[in-house]
Amino acid sequence: MLSGRATRRALSTSVVDDVLAWSALQGHILSGGGRAETFYSASRGFPFDDADLPHHHLRRGTTRDAFDARRRDRGPPAWVVGAWERPAFVGGGAAATRDRVRNLITNTLFVDVRTPVDRDAALAAARKGAPPANLADCGDLELRLLARQHAFAGFGDWDDATCARHHCVDWNFAPGRVAPRRVPNRWRAERFDESWTEWSHATDDFGQSYYSELWRRLGTSDAGAVALRSAGPRDAVVVVAGGCFAYAVARPAAPAPAGEGAAHVAAAVDSALAAGDVAGARGLLSLEAGAGDAATWTVSAALHPWDEGKSLAAALPDLGGGAGGDVALGDARFDVVERPDDDAAFLALLPPEAARL
């Protein structure tokens, strides 16, 4: 029989190993066991070109013009607008259920933030002390654990219940560090009362979607929506929907290329640390994202755990650019992309610290 100390050590090792395996499992499911690229082909009835890929405009620096042009008449069905959590993610013969996911969708922009449920327990087991206060306070194992997360933001190009997402902020967009995504982020939504299922657009050899995600409503369905985009040089998106808020802020600088692109940020961070490039690993982890309840405007889930418990305005970094924008949240300035027509309703969907410019 294991002693109490040995049992605790075994449990700590298990939770760390489980979190370290998180990104690989997510990638396996999303790719249908690594077969997505074979499923997406013209010969199988699923053609696409480069402009359909989620990073197409990110690579070209054209996200603002492209999103401005598309959002006018390519928004989602009204029932999709809101805040959603993900109880289950299935594909490639595997499933993930221990994820903390916040997916906020407005008529124009979305923010999607994903972390392992056991992240903080794994950090505690790795650190054996006070939680880290910033990236510089993290050792190699803690940096590796923080790499097992994901967040992205952008615009959903909808055609009835089929959506193709295009990203303007993306955890896994790091040219020269992470290999580019080679298939579209395209799927169809099937509604079930207060939940819906996301089914991959392309199908497998049996005509079935190769992955699915179950989305369950958070908050309310009629709380109104706001979408903000950075007015400064560092891109950022803030959305409010379903009585919740979420934000995603791009890295302050693009990570320097370092050889072949890894499959995802987790693998790129592992490679950087193995090469002694701690600064490169921290740079990859400098993208910021989080979510919370708009009743309190307090961040309850964030890629950087030290941001949890802060107000939205305090969690947002200075985006640069000085004067400009329509709204200020702390040191960050934003252009309004979407808002209710009524001024009172608009102001009710902003945190109390927000200042109109």
Give how far Cα 220 sits from Cα of 85, 155, 161, 278, Å: 13, 22, 21, 43
User: What is the pLDDT averaged over residues 212-232?
Assistant: 93
Contacts of 273 (CB under 8 A, 6+ apart): 140, 143, 144, 281
209: pLDDT strictly greater than 90: yes
271: pLDDT strictly greater than 90: yes
Tokens of 319: 């985006």
Tokens of 204: 């497998």
Domain ranges of the chain: 4-356
Tokens of 148: 């097992």
Which residues of the chain form beta strands (DSSP E)? Answer: 82-91, 94-96, 99-105, 109-116, 150-159, 162-170, 186-192, 195-200, 211-218, 225-230, 236-241, 244-249, 288-293, 298-302, 327-329, 332-338, 355-356
Give the whole-angstrom CA distance, residue 250 versus residue 235: 5
* Packing angle of the helix pair 119-127, 4-20 (nearest 10 deg): 120
Span of 65-69, 178-182, 332-336 with lowest mean pLDDT: 65-69
Listed residue (146, 122, 150, 124) closest to 135, CA to CA: 146
Tokens of 251: 């890295």
User: What is the pLDDT averaged over residues 20-38?
Assistant: 97
User: What is the pLDDT averaged over residues 246-258?
Assistant: 92
pLDDT recorded at residue 71: 62
Strands 327-329 and 355-356: antiparallel
The pLDDT mean for the chain works out to 93
**24 within 8 A of 124, measured Cβ to Cβ:** no
Q: Which residues of 51-80 are buried (b: 16+ CB within 10 A; e: fewer)?
A: ebbbbbbbeeeebeebbeebbeebbbeeeb
pTM of this prediction?
0.94
**9 within 8 A of 128, measured Cβ to Cβ:** no
326: left (phi over 0), alpha (psi -120 to 50) or beta: alpha
Give how far Cα 135 sits from Cα of 74, 140, 260, 279, Å: 39, 10, 25, 10
- 80-106 tens-digit pLDDT: 999 999 999 999 999 999 999 999 999
